[in-house]
Amino acid sequence: MATTPWFSTSDSCWLRPQHVLPLLGHGPQVLGDGRLQTTIREELAAAAAEVAPGPGTTKPGEHALLLATHEDLALTHPGMAAAVEPALVGLGPEGYVTTTHAGTDLLTAADARGLLHGFYALLRDGLAVFDGSTRREEPTCPVRMVNQWDNLSADAPMGSVERGYSGDSIFYADGAVVQDRRRVKDYARLLASVGINALSLNNVNVHGPETRLMTDHVQDVADLARTFADHGIATYLSINYAAPIEIGGLGTADPLDPQVRQWWVQASEALFAQVPDLGGYLVKADSENRPGPFTYGRTHADGANMLAEALRPHGGTVFWRCFVYDCRQDWRDRRTDRARAAYDHFMPLDGEFADNVVLQVKNGPMDFQVREPVSPLLGGLERTNVVMELQIAQEYTGQQKHACYLAPQWKQVLDFDTRSADPRAPSGAAVRDVVAGRTFARPVAGVAAVSNIGDDVYWTGHPWAQANLYAYGRLAWDPASDPDDLLHRWSRLTYPDLPDVQRAVVDILAGSWLTYERYTSPLGVGWMVEPGHHYGPSIEGYEYSAWGTYHFADRDGVGVDRTVATGTGYTGQYREPWASVYESVDRCPDELLLFFHHVPYGHELASGRTVIQHIYDTHFQGVEEVQAMVARWEQVADQVDGALAERVSGRLAEQLRSAREWRDQVNTYFRRASGVDDARGRTIY
């Protein structure tokens, strides 16, 4: 199929004009003239221009299709409105109802946001929902956010997009906001089509130029925010905590200083006056050399609440990140184990944050490793709004050179039972309940994730990395979703006419997270990557102490002792039973053993293998699995267009090269350290 400016990208996008065809065939009628209804009409018109079989295509006997908010429906179809009203009772503003009434298939909602979600659901799932039944759908997580780590210029310390592996920013170039907004609009459509409802517009590391987004680029920010709002998405700005100094001319950013507080009030007033679609701020403070309240001897509650006060008159929200740690510290020291940092900083402040503050907690205590335990703040914080932060970008999981479908990892985190013993948590204490706001009855809760898109023709550097963006949106909407089912759906939408390709892509991606884990760092120990850019193996790359590597491998054993009894005490941050499970070398799950314990190479895992044999076996197995991925792709590669085939084949070849490099470096390192041979006699260099 020809690509069009409207769908602008490539054959590798799940949102395609042909998915609109079934709707067009039913002569859809959209009532109401709000901005979201306009968006739906534009979608239909654009698709019709591209693929529709022509006007008046409703076939005799087929139901007409009506899309209307309940209010609009009541004006023109009062009988239908009355009939559907009971189904809408108690449904939130993003929910929608599908039903059939007197020969009309009806999509309706209390609010236009719900209508838009319902429209995209019809594109994704087709019209089979109109089977005579009445269905209600609404999102589980109230906040479903995407964070851009985009900089205004490619000269920024980490380039155009920090940890971006998909080309340059679609928002900014050469220190200015891009004026051709077609890609931005397409991105808004992509996000809306999977249910995202919030986006932050710039990198959380806010340097000089980005600080001025608040002042010098306000009109552009307003335009971008309007485009997203037209798709039901609220826009947030990452702000520089030291903005009162950097652009306000003050001598301090002390959150308790009246002048500083006033500065934020006025700056926010000016911003909201010009950017009515703004949702609020996202803040990284006191982390990786960014400024924050610690400079002034203040707490993060002081800092966040100051901003909350400035945003309150505008209905705005502060997303305040818990990724706060001293990047120059020694991780070995009991008091400074990096894993402890977020909990140590924020848990004592539980209950002190304003109700329009949300703490944004990374899924694990470290930094988006292939395997980490779940952050003890999730389920720990009870009297504070929380969103969990994931990373779609794949910084530590192959950087989109490797195929690595992350939804199974996210699902495992969402399903983790934090075991709140609190009687106020009657509806469950799994992470998915916490981020739904249910566990502690929080008004704001949800998920955020670092985006993986750029100006690449496929949006993502690896065409299949789109599956991660798609699955993130759908899991955020419904954390009970099955990652395998999402993968099938994404594959069907992305390769609609190519069933062999659909099957091959599913076969390759389904287990790719575990494959990646097998050939990289074992048993939860993490890292072992090249410092700085974080791609490829460097077993001793990160040395955090004068005494050795952070993973403490020596001739006798490997792993980090984070127990209360003899280690950093990190296990004590968990609720029971997890505190005891992780504390015990016998009860700790194999896959996290080296995160929590330093053990001899001969230590026997629950699997029955020794640690050293596990390392050898998984690294050989990981490479074999990548070889199988390459072979599976070769069976179908000639069915897709040449450019796509070449891109994927090139990435798979690099994945195989890299997997072998990981295998050889890891196995050799531990063979030499331990002096233990592979029990199966395979060659280790």
Query: Is residue 367 part of the contact set for ligand GCV (CB under 6 A)?
Result: yes
Residue 338 binds ligand GCV (CB under 6 A):
no
- Closer to ligand GCV by CB, 96 or 472: give it: 472
Verify binding: residue 163, ligand GCV, rule CB under 6 A.
yes
Q: What are the CA-CA distances from residue 373 to residues 188, 312, 525, 528 (Å)? A: 33, 35, 11, 17
- Smallest CA-to-CA distance from 106 within 139, 138, 82, 140 is with 82
Q: Which is nearer to ligand GCV, 115 or 324 (CB)?
A: 324
Integer Cα distance of 636 and 431 in angstroms? 39
- Residue 411 contacts ligand GCV per CB under 6 A: no
Q: Which residues pair with 199 in a beta bridge?
A: 146, 235
Candidates 14, 96, 120, 149: give the one binding ligand GCV (CB under 6 A): 149
Mapping DSSP onto H, E and C, the string for 354-423 reads CCCEEEEEECCCCCCCCCCCCCCCCCCCCCCEEEEEEECCCCCCCCCCCCCCCHHHHHHHHHCECCCCCC
Written as six digits, the tokens of 501 are 């390709």
Please pick, among 131, 155, 288, 485, the residue that the annotation labels catalytic: 288
At 351, the amino acid letter reads G
**389 in catalytic set:** no
326 belongs to the binding site for ligand GCV (CB under 6 A): no
Q: Which of 105, 168, 220, 395 is catalytic?
A: 395
Q: Which is nearer to ligand GCV, 105 or 395 (CB)?
A: 395
Question: Is residue 207 a contact point for ligand GCV (CB under 6 A)?
Answer: no
Pick between residue 393 and residue 623 the one whose CB is nearest to ligand GCV.
Answer: 393
Contact residue for ligand GCV among 205, 452, 571, 674 (CB under 6 A): 205
Under the binding rule (CB under 6 A), the answer on residue 284 touching ligand GCV is: yes
* List 40, 97, 201, 204, residue binding ligand GCV (CB under 6 A): 204
Closer residue to ligand GCV in complex, CB, 389/456: 389
Residue 320 in the binding site for ligand GCV (CB under 6 A): no
Size of the site for ligand GCV (CB under 6 A): 10
In the numeric block, which tokens belong to residue 228? 């997203």
Smallest gap from Cβ 570 to ligand GCV, in A, equals 19
Q: List, as one string, the DSSP characters of 59-126.
A: PTTPPEEEEEEHHHHHHH-HHHHHHHHHHHTT--TT-EEEEEETTEEEEEESSHHHHHHHHHHHHHH-
Examine the residue annotation and report whether 395 is marked as an active-site residue of this protein: yes
Q: Residue 670 gets which letter from DSSP?
A: H
- Residue 368 CB, nearest approach to ligand GCV (Å): 7
In the three-class reduction of DSSP (H, G, I as helix; E, B as strand; rest coil), residue 532 is classed as coil
Nearest to 307 by CA among 247, 276, 263, 363: 263
The single residue among 11, 50, 137, 162 that binds ligand GCV, judged by CB under 6 A, is: 162
Between 147 and 549, name the residue whose CB sits nearer to ligand GCV: 147
Assess 323 for contact with ligand GCV (CB under 6 A): yes
137 is catalytic: no
Closer residue to ligand GCV, CB minimum distance, 204 or 508: 204
CB within 8 A of 485, min separation 6: which ones? none
The DSSP string of 28-40 is: -EE---SHHHHHH
Whole-number minimum distance, CB 462 to ligand GCV, in Å?
Answer: 19
How many Å apart are CA 581 and CA 589, to the nearest integer?
8
Q: Which residues are catalytic?
A: 288, 367, 395
Using CB under 6 A, list all residues that contact ligand GCV: 149, 162-163, 204-205, 284, 288, 323, 367, 395
